[in-house]
Structure 1
Amino acid sequence: MIRGLYDWTLRWSGSKQAPVALGALSFVESSVFPVPADVLFVPMCLARPERAMRYALIATVTSVLGGILGWAIGHWAFHALALPILDFYGKAAAFDALKARTGDAAILTMLVTSGLSHIPPMKVVTILSGVVAFDLKLFIVSAIVARGGRFYLLAWLLRRYGVRIATFFETRFKWIALAVLAVVAVLVALYEVM
């Protein structure tokens, strides 16, 4: 099944509609859909490395817009829309646990780690941000920085190193995500001390 999905994304990544599909996937991934945009973004960058930065722009803009939709769902339609979505994905308990630990610093940390490494999932953080009425301007800026940083760095690495860097990330993703989480935790702790 995974090999079939991989082959499908490689075929799709070379099509004329790939940028539109990437934008749609990035948008829904930030608010309601469980599949990260990377499944299309990485093969697209590998297939057309000269367009990697353009793909990063598409993924960043649509991901931030999708995040704003997630924030709006959490803020204005949590019980009608978000709670059924969380129940459907089996994430309601995880959401409640995250909500119990929220404050501005916690939300900001989750936005950054989610934007960079999908831990916790972006859609959970965007909805949670709306539920707790996290400042929308700060939300947008942090989403641009985190998601843009992720997509542009990945695009640059894929342009420069190609398949070698993709293989490196695939085999070490958990360790890289933990390292990013540790760095963000240290930065937040330093921020709170100052």
Structure 2
Amino acid sequence: MELEADPKADARPGPKRRNLEQTRGRILEAAADTFTRSGYAKAGLREIGERAGVAPSLVSRYFGTKAALFEEALIHVLRANSVFTWQKQGFGEAMARLIPRRANINITVMLVTALADPEAKEIARRVSREHMIQPLVDWLGPPHALERAMDMFALLTGFAVQMDGLYPAPIPDHSLRWLARTLQAIVDGKD
């Protein structure tokens, strides 16, 4: 007598497979949020794991150290919010419209809070040079691209700090118009 196969046996789910890229992305988003809210020194892998919905050991397995995770999270935020692929014409207006909507604030807050920790400060310096300033220099082009990139970076960082913590009311329209004109002058290479 031959036994029939149990149809339910084939329908049983196998071990749950993790989507590595989705998990990595959730951890990076949680890390960026945690580093932004808590600063580098106070952020912990356990908190990041909880926010990402994974075990802290998995955070360590994916990224190794807190410093490596900070670097990857900062690069992730930079890539997700890159604006230097935009057209040069009208750039100042476009950026001035983004400022009140708090766009790219995580970048500035992550960089500023990193300055309080020597390890994070060195990472922030290197990442900002390699992934912000140099691409901006390349995008701006001559003349004096490095100086113009530094001017733009200082201006945008200052506005982000002002908006996030120093000026609780909406930024006045005249300030945003000044920002748009100044950014466009930097892009156009005018003094």
The normalised TM-score by structure 1 is 0.35
Q: Over alpha carbons, which structure has the higher Rg?
A: 2
Larger relative helix fraction: 1
